[in-house]
Amino acid sequence: MILTALFLDACGSTVVEPTSSPINLTRGPIPESARQADGSIDRTQIPDFIPATDGDRQAGWISSGDVVPAAGEARPEIINVYGDDLVTLVGHMYPEVGFVALGAEADLLPPSGQDRDLTILVRNVSDCPAILEIIEAADEMIIGRS
């Protein structure tokens, strides 16, 4: 995208030479090299937009600032998802639901206050099978130790 600035002088006549300035936005996944040993993320390595996925497919792009906000900034609860032009809004990422395309909210979002399904995606990069066990805190009893 190229932005063109048009300047007027004090008398109101147009300056003949407009200036052009390209806007370069980066997009792509967060590189593994951005993940620091202490668990933090090197924000200088994060692209401006990162992929938003819907199951196994890419639904669009989300602003990396919404996912990894600057220090002291809050992360939005509902995150905008943009098309390949990084401008056109194609849907939103909702907590506990995931991607919902524009116009599909009534069909995909449960009424507020209703129990929702939870999907947990686990990446296992080892050759050994992994088991994920989910228990409720009330099911677990801790006996005092001396």
Task: Say whether pLDDT at 12 is over 50.
Answer: no
Please indicate, yes or no, if residue 16 is contained in any of the structural domains: yes
Does position 123 have pLDDT exceeding 60, yes or no? Answer: yes
Q: What is residue 86's predicted lDDT score, i.e. its pLDDT? A: 92
Distance of alpha carbon 15 from alpha carbon 109, whole angstroms: 53
Q: Is residue 145 part of a domain?
A: no
Amino acid occupying residue 73: E
H or E element that contains 2: strand 2-5
Number of domains in the chain: 1
Q: Is residue 146 part of a domain?
A: no
Domain residue limits at 102? 2-139
Q: Is residue 124 part of a domain?
A: yes
Among 34-43, 68-77, 107-116, whose mean pLDDT is lowest?
107-116
pLDDT at 62: 94
Q: What is the pLDDT of residue 83?
A: 94
Which pLDDT score is estimated for 16?
41
pLDDT number for residue 88: 93
Tokens representing residue 25 in the block: 């936005």
Measured in whole angstroms, how far is the alpha carbon of residue 20 from the centre of its chain?
Answer: 30
